[in-house]
C-alpha cells in the first residue's frame, strides 16, 4: 500500500506558506526531531510552534485525507468492538463507521501504512482514512475503550 501526496510539498513548507510557522521555527524543530526522533508535526506542537489543528489541516491538504473532529462524533459500540483496545492504543486510531466491507478509521498519523494494513488483516475490511488531531483520537480511545480493558 502506498499513500500519494496530492500537494508535493513537505509538511514544514506547507506550514511556512500558511504563515503558521517561520523558517527558523522549522529549522529548530528539525534539529529537535534529529535528536529525539518522532514526527515533525508532533515536534512542532510540542515546541509550541503550531497547534494540532494546524498540523491536521496541513496533512489533509498534503494528502487529501478528510478531516474529522471526533469531539462531537458518537461512535456505535459495535464499531468499536471491531478493533481491540491494544491495537487502537498502539496505532492511535479509532474505528468510526462501517458500511458493507468498508471500515472507516480516524487517525492522527494517516501515513502509518503498517497500522492500516494491520487493521485490514484484523478486521477483514478495506479501510477508509480520516484524519483527527492526536488529542481527539486519544480522547475517543479513552471514552470508548475505558470499559473494554
pLDDT tens figures, 29-84: 999 999 998 889 989 999 999 999 899 888 888 888 899 989 888 999 999 999 99
Per the domain annotation, does 4 fall within a domain? Answer: no
Residue 2 pLDDT greater than 60, yes or no: no
Does any domain span residue 72? Answer: no
Domain assignment present for residue 2? The answer is: no
- In whole angstroms, what is the distance from residue 36 CA to residue 88 CA? 24
Judge if 117 and 86 occupy the same domain.
yes
Q: Are residues 114 and 87 in the same domain?
A: yes
29 within a domain of the structure (yes/no): yes
Confidence (pLDDT) at 39: 85
Task: Based on the fold, state whether residues 137 and 91 are members of the same structural domain.
Answer: yes
Query: Would you place residue 8 in the very low, low, confident or very high pLDDT band (cuts 50, 70, 90)?
Result: low
Per the CB < 8 A criterion, the answer to whether 103 and 123 are in contact is yes
Q: Give me the pLDDT at residue 123, please.
A: 95
The predicted pLDDT at position 63 comes to: 81
Does residue 68 form part of some domain? no
| Domain identity same for 128 and 100 | yes
pLDDT given at position 149: 60
Nine-digit cell string for 122: 484484523
pLDDT digits 0-9 by tens, 75-122: 999 999 999 999 999 999 999 999 999 999 999 888 889 999 999 999
**Domain CATH for 131:** 3.30.300.160
Q: Does an H or E element contain 95, and which?
A: strand 93-99
Reduced to 3 states (helix: H, G, I; strand: E, B; else coil), residue 60 is helix
Query: Do residues 82 and 130 both lie within one domain?
Result: yes
93 and 38 in a single domain? The answer is no
**Is 19 a domain residue?**
yes
Q: Is residue 3 domain-resident?
A: no
Can you give the pTM of this predicted structure? 0.79
Where in the sequence is the domain holding 36, given as residue range(s)? 11-63
Number of domains in the chain: 2
Is 81 part of a structural domain of the chain? Answer: yes
Amino acid at each position: 500500500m502506498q499513500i500519494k501526496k496530492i500537494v508535493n510539498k513537505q509538511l514544514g513548507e506547507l506550514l511556512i506558506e500558511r504563515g503558521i510557522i517561520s523558517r527558523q521555527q522549522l529549522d529548530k524543530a528539525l534539529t529537535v526531531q534529529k535528536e529525539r526522533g518522532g514526527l515533525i508535526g508532533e515536534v512542532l506542537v510540542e515546541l509550541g510552534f503550531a497547534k494540532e489543528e494546524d498540523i491536521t489541516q496541513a496533512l489533509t491538504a498534503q494528502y487529501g485525507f478528510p478531516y474529522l473532529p471526533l469531539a462531537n462524533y458518537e461512535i456505535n459500540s459495535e464499531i468499536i468492538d471491531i478493533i481491540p483496545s491494544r491495537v487502537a492504543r498502539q496505532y492511535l486510531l479509532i474505528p468510526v463507521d462501517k458500511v458493507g466491507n468498508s471500515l472507516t478509521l480516524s487517525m492522527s498519523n494517516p501515513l502509518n501504512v503498517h497500522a492500516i494494513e494491520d487493521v485490514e488483516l484484523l478486521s477483514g475490511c478495506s479501510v477508509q482514512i480520516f484524519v483527527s488531531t492526536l488529542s481527539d483520537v486519544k480522547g475517543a480511545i479513552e471514552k470508548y475503550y475505558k470499559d473494554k480493558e
